[in-house]
Chain A
Amino acid sequence: MANPFSILRSTQDGISILALDGYLDAHTAPQFEKAVQEEFEAGRIRLIVDCAKLTYISSAGLGVFMIFVEEIREAGGDIKICGLAPKVYQVFEILGFPSLFDIVEDVPAAVAKYAETPVREN
């Protein structure tokens, strides 16, 4: 009965890409949180979260972005979000994410964003 959720991790040009697939809710958010935590602890602070295969998100999933983004930015990195389906984007939009996060079309656009914005020095 449980709605499936998985994360496929890869790297491109030194950027970590977490591709989310399925349903991100209060049950599966800890999996996502653990993945971001591991990236951060390994010093990989330039992240792209690819949501092209994300079917559903609730506030528990959005909360993961909120917990880490400040710390990652303070370390000079960022979390960029891409591939949101309209139904999923609506949830991000209602809560005001577009003004605080770079949300772009797809992975190449997110990689390009990193290229145009050099890593911040703190």
Chain B
Amino acid sequence: MVSLERTFSLHVPASTENLAMIREFVTSIGEQAGLASSEIAKLVLAVDEACANVIEHAYGSDMTKEVSVRATLDDAILEITVTDTGIGFDPGSVEQKGLDKLIRARKSGGLGMGLIRSFVDEVHYQISGEKNELRMVKRLKKV
């Protein structure tokens, strides 16, 4: 049987106010993919973390900028790509510090990537030209 690929996109101004809209978008894609509600919750949080990073760090909460979330769904995988044109950084290059160290340093950041990695099956980061892309893959079928 031929696997039918479907693509959905959401573009919103770079404001944390729009995170709720992004979460609703991801929830509805997760439902279309037939994921269990617990898996949808994990995916929603992963995408929320990625978008919050873009809004606050890549764009410095500049609402004239745009965050793009694109979801591609077929029988085997659900792939969600968050794209921005702000200050790019490779999240893979960031040293993952333990919670106790962050607390001692009174730092609140540095947890988001850990959550993303825990909640999706694959994470890929790519800078091409002015675009930064964080691609998160959720496998729908056990291989």
Please report A residues at the B interface, Cβ cutoff 8 Å: 1-3, 23, 25-27, 56, 58-60, 62-64, 66-67, 69-71, 87, 91, 94-97, 100
3 residue pairs, one from A and one from B, having the closest CB atoms: A63-B108, A27-B16, A26-B52
The residues of B that contact A60 with a CB separation of less than 8 Å are 52, 108
Which of A25, A58, A64, A100 has a CB less than 8 Å from the CB of B100? A100
Given contacts A3-B23, A70-B104, A71-B106, contact A26 B99 (CB under 8 A): no
- Asked, given contacts A3-B20, A25-B19, A26-B16, whether A91 binds B115 with beta carbons under 8 Å apart, the answer is yes
A71: chain B residues within 8 A (beta carbon): 106
Q: Which residues of B contact A (CB under 8 A)?
A: 16-21, 23-24, 38, 41, 45, 48-49, 52, 55-56, 98-100, 102-104, 106-109, 111-112, 114-115, 118
Flag if A66 contacts B103 (CB, 8 Å): yes
Known: A59-B112, A95-B115. 10 other contacts (CB 8 A): A2-B17, A23-B20, A26-B56, A58-B112, A60-B52, A66-B99, A66-B107, A87-B38, A94-B114, A95-B111
Q: Is there an interface contact between B100 and A59, defined as CB atoms closer than 8 Å?
A: no
- B18, B24, B45, B118: most-surrounded residue (chain A CB, <10 A): B45
* Distance (whole angstroms) from the CB of B66 to the closest CB of chain A: 17
Inter-subunit contact B108/A94 (CB<8 Å): no
Shortest beta-carbon distance, A54 to chain B, in Å? 13
Which A residues are in CB contact (< 8 Å) with B48? 25-26, 58
Contact between chains at A25 and B38 (CB < 8 Å): no
A10 to chain B: closest CB distance in Å? 25
B52 contacts A58, CB within 8 Å? yes
| Cα separation A56 to B103 with both chains bound (whole Å) | 22
Q: Tell whether, in the assembled complex, residue A27 and residue B17 are in contact, meaning their CB atoms are under 8 Å apart.
A: yes
Known contacts: A3-B23, A66-B99, A66-B107. The answer to whether A58 contacts B45 by CB under 8 A is yes
* B52-A66 in contact (CB<8A): no
